[in-house]
Amino acid sequence: MPRIPEITVKEALPEDQHPIFDAIAASRGRVGYPFSLLLNSPEVAGRVAHLGTYLRFESTLAPTDRELAIITAAREFDCAFEWAAHVRAARTAGVREEAIAAVDNDGSLAALTAEEALIVEYGRQLFRRHRIAEDTFQAAKARFGDQGVTDLTALMGYYGLLACALNAFEVQPAPEAPELSSIRHLRE
């Protein structure tokens, strides 16, 4: 059970905030986690959702690249809910099992394609060192272009923000959801 109330009906908000609820529902088909929690601050929820709509659904990144970047962020933040939601999306988008396993287990990138390794290494550097090495940045810029490397960086930051909220509010995935290995080890 999350630490703060979940807002799943717009009537729980002041009437002047109903358009925010409606915009979130329209862009995602419903209002669920994390937005049902972020709606405790409707302006935050609306602004985060607006950015997320672009990054997740409209950015220059291919679905496989986007989902690999998202699960990398989820793993770096040990966010069980984000992992469970997006490992499924990653598989649907065509992310290879070898890449998913390398991210999940914080493993070697040697078995990955150069493109996969670049995305995972970019995320690991960003979240662990808070900087991107010049060679990694130049490789990402060469692959994605200026807009694409900007989209990649913003996407990872965005999912880092969501992971912070989901972890702070203690949102857990369903028991049958795919489990992140770093969380699994805590239970052993």
Domains of the chain (ranges; CATH) run 10-58 (no CATH), 63-167+176-181 (1.20.1290)
Per residue of the chain (188 residues), give pLDDT as tens.
899 999 999 999 999 999 999 999 999 999 999 999 999 999 999 999 999 999 999 999 999 999 999 999 999 999 999 999 999 999 999 999 999 999 999 999 999 999 999 999 999 999 999 999 999 999 999 999 999 999 999 999 999 999 999 999 999 998 888 888 877 555 44
Q: Could you report how far apart the first and last alpha carbons of the chain are, in Å?
A: 22
* CA–CA dist 167, 162 (Å, integer): 8
Whether the CB-CB separation of 75 and 106 falls below 8 Å is answered with yes
* CA–CA dist 156, 90 (Å, integer): 15
**Cβ contacts of residue 58 below 8 Å, gap of 6+?**
none
Which tokens in the block code for residue 117? Answer: 């390794």
pTM score, two decimals? 0.94
Please report the pLDDT score of residue 184 as a whole number: 57
Which tokens in the block code for residue 32? Answer: 């669920």
